Amino acid sequence: MNDFIPELEPTPIFKSKSCQWLVKLVAFKLTYMPIVLTLLVAYMVDYFYAVATLLISYLVTGIVRSYMRNNSIPKKQQEYSYSDKAIAAWFLYRTYCFGEQR
């Protein structure tokens, strides 16, 4: 009955504007890049290629998202579900913006 996973570290919140913008940019790309690519291919090429682009881009985005999640979030906290913004914050905290947390 005790299925609670203790949270060891909170999701990082950055104080510098550059890191905040990077988190928003990476989260936007993780969320909307398959749709943007699909619309671009549908406009420029053909709808058949757009559907193929949508499927492949969802697959690639999922792989990138799981890579970022598995390499940045602490192992004991990976059972929690995180949004794209939280995954981007953890990843940038571990790689680029380390030490600039509030």
CA distance 89 to 19: 9
Assigned domain for 7 exists: no
CA distance 72 to 87: 8
Per-position DSSP letters for 19-30, written without gaps between them? HHHHHHHHHHHH
Assigned domain for 6 exists: no
Assigned domain for 53 exists: yes
pLDDT given at position 65: 94
pLDDT digit string, tens, across residues 67-91: 999 999 988 888 888 999 999 999 9
Domain count along the chain: 1
pLDDT digit string, tens, across residues 15-48: 889 999 999 999 999 999 999 999 999 999 999 9
Assigned domain for 31 exists: yes
Length of the chain: 102
Domain of 23 in residue numbering reads as 17-95
pLDDT given at position 100: 59
Assigned domain for 5 exists: no
